[in-house]
Structure 1
Amino acid sequence: MKTKHYLTLEDAEFLLTRAHQFAVDKEFNVSIAVVDDTGSLMAMKRMDGASPMTAGLSIEKARCSAASRRPSGLFEELVRDGQLGFLTVNSVSGMLEGGEPILYKEQLVGAVGVSGVKSEQDAEIARHAIQVFLALAD
């Protein structure tokens, strides 16, 4: 029998709070989503001033990252580099930078998706929250 690690609601809220605080510190207005390892939404926040469109995008970026176990920006790069076949994949959307997987002891436990500023800034917010979370998880 193997042990399966998973995110709790408390973990999801911690990640959301850390990402939110980092965005506030940078004066960014974004939407933030946390999903579990299946891509199911656990927690989400759209900050005041964030475009309504960013709410759905943050969720899709997180789901893309959870489904692929990779940063969602990887797919944006592949499409930009000419691998347009990814645009026809119906099962995965949110193939834009800003979704980051949460890997704990080499197991995917979820993902964080952020949308609302430049894509590299979205990813920076998600990575920051995950880094703080994992530093405290051990």
Structure 2
Amino acid sequence: MNIALPQLNITLAAAEAAVAAALDEARRNGWPISVAVVDVSGLLVAFARDDNAIAISPTVAMEKAKTAAYLKDPSKKFEDFINEHQKVSFLSTPGATALEGGVPIYYEGHVIGAVGVSGAHGPNDSQVAQYAADSLAKQ
């Protein structure tokens, strides 16, 4: 008999800590960002927008986080897949945003959520998101 394991989800406290870490990393670099942390099913748990972040960045950050949670991989992987394989039709995949800056959050080898960052642009968004995700492992 195959019995499914219970689904682990990020806690509010951990999500808020990831948001704080992302904001700290972005501020150290002078990047005004929005950051979103979602649970394993892509539902928003915590969010912040820097006072100087551009207006679209909250929506983009949430979509990047959802993409990383859904795919259980960085959103950059989806962006690279489209860019490298020229599969433009994949842009219509429901719920997936092909932009770098979303990374899954792991606990004991399981994805428990994801963090998405927007406003620092491309690799900088990924740097901040990864820093936030990694900061949880240090707690």
TM-score by length of structure 2 reads 0.92
Deviation of 1:84 after TM superposition, in Å, equals 1.7
Instruction: Summarize deviations over 1:89-120 as a string: whole Å, max 9, x none.
Output: 1x223220000001211211000000002210
Report what 1:68 is aligned to: 71
For these two proteins, the number of residue pairs brought into alignment is 135
- Structure 2's unaligned 5+ residue stretches are none
Letter paired with 2:92: T
Percentage identity across paired residues of the two chains: 33
Equivalent in the alignment of 2:90: 86
Over aligned residues, Cα RMSD in angstroms? 1.3
What stretches of structure 1 of length at least 5 have no aligned partner?
none
Q: Distance in 1 between matches of 2:17 and 2:92?
A: 35
- CA separation in 2, counterparts of 1:132 and 1:11? 10
Matched, 1:23 2:26: yes
**Shift of residue 88, structure 1, vs aligned partner:** 2.0
- Written as runs of structure 1 = structure 2, the 5 A alignment for 1:31-50 is 31-50=34-53
Flag as ranges the 4+ runs of structure 1 deviating above 3 A.
1-5
C-alpha distance after superposition, 1:3-30 (max 9, x if no partner): 6432111111000001111111111101
Amino acid at match of 1:83: K
